[in-house]
Amino acid sequence: MSAVQIDGLHKSFGTLEVLKGIDATVESGEVVCVIGPSGSGKSTLLRCVNLLEQPNSGKIVVNGVEITDRDCDIDAARRRVGMVFQQFNLFQHLTVLDNLTIAQRKVLKRDKAEAQRVAIENLEKVGVADKAKSYPAQLSGGQQQRVAIARALSMGPEVMLFDEPTSALDPELVGEVLGVMRRLADEGMTMLVVTHEMQFAREVADKVLFMDGGVVVEQGPPSQVIAAPQQERTKTFLARVL
Ligand code: ADP
Ligand code: MG
């Protein structure tokens, strides 16, 4: 059974068809990187997997449960899939610790001590436990993004989605976030990552999907898709970003 199975996924905004039938799978413990030009539908794909967008048609199955089923509990499904955004999306008026405990308490009904224990454990994992009492604005972008990763991990997700997690960071801060993601991958976390970091994709991804115009143009191991692309559109894109 795959961790994530996407079949014939279509998504339109009004008359604009953004996803034109996406088929993709992420096996348990795999890292799949999604690359492609701006506007190709990468974020929309991730947002559908987290049910932030409702697909028009097609199916998404997470560890055997069809989350696109009409009768599926959306909140329960979302809990199983963690997401990290380009812009961190931390609550600015809450401390780092409270950012990590609020959903655990409200959604998972954990008591305060347990939520804090899990929070600290995950802050330690991403190397920012010393910032637990700080507010997001007091942290660097790299620290904020690591907090956002720890927050997602605190919900115990089965799959982690990353949408260009390093694109908003100053160049010198990119490495610390990619380092955390590498460690997660090494620990066996199942990850679907939209990224422009080709070196990360090359070294960490089990599989790379190249998207353009709402379709998956080419997919396979990085040694194929990045190092030896077959499709003209993939070659053109890589020539621009590499
Ligand atoms: P990418 O992440 O690859 O840059 P997106 O998935 O963000 O691409 O966007 C794909 C297309 O869908 C773009 O043309 C974008 O303008 C459009 N789009 C995305 N979200 C919405 C929305 N909520 N309403 C209308 N159009 C949208
Ligand atoms: Mg995007």
Q: What is the pLDDT of residues 163-184, one digit of tens each?
A: 999 999 999 999 999 999 999 9
Residue 174 three-state SS: helix
Least distant ligand from the CA of 20: 1
- CB of 39 within 6 A of ligand 1: the answer is yes
The protein residue whose alpha carbon is closest to atom 14 in ligand 1 is: 39
Would you state the pLDDT for residue 169? 97
Between the CA of residue 132 and those of 92, 141, 166, 217, what are the distances in Å? 13, 15, 22, 43
Task: Identify the residue whose C-alpha is closest to ligand 1 atom 1.
Answer: 39
Question: Does ligand 1 come within 6 angstroms of the Cβ of 91?
Answer: no
Nearest ligand to the CA of 38 is: 1
Q: Residue 40: what are its φ and ψ, rounded to 5°?
A: -80, -10
Per-residue pLDDT of the chain (242 residues), as tens digits, is: 999 999 999 999 999 999 999 999 999 999 999 999 999 999 999 999 999 999 999 999 999 999 999 899 988 888 999 999 999 999 999 999 999 999 999 999 999 999 999 999 999 999 999 999 999 999 999 999 999 999 999 999 999 999 999 999 999 999 999 999 999 999 999 999 999 999 999 999 999 999 999 999 999 999 999 999 999 999 999 999 98
Token pair of 137 as six digits: 């604005």
**Ligand 2 centroid distance, CA of 45 (Å):** 9
Determine the atom of ligand 1 nearest the C-alpha atom of 211. 3
pTM for the complete prediction? 0.97
Q: 161: exposed, middle or buried (C-beta count within 10 Å: 0-12, 13-18, 19+)?
A: buried
Give the C-alpha separation, 91 to 101, whole Å. Answer: 12
40 CB near ligand 1 (under 6 Å):
yes
Integer CA distances (angstroms), 133 to 74, 104, 126, 138, in order = 32, 18, 16, 10
What's residue 69's pLDDT? 92
Looking at residue 242, its pLDDT comes to 84
DSSP for residue 133 = T
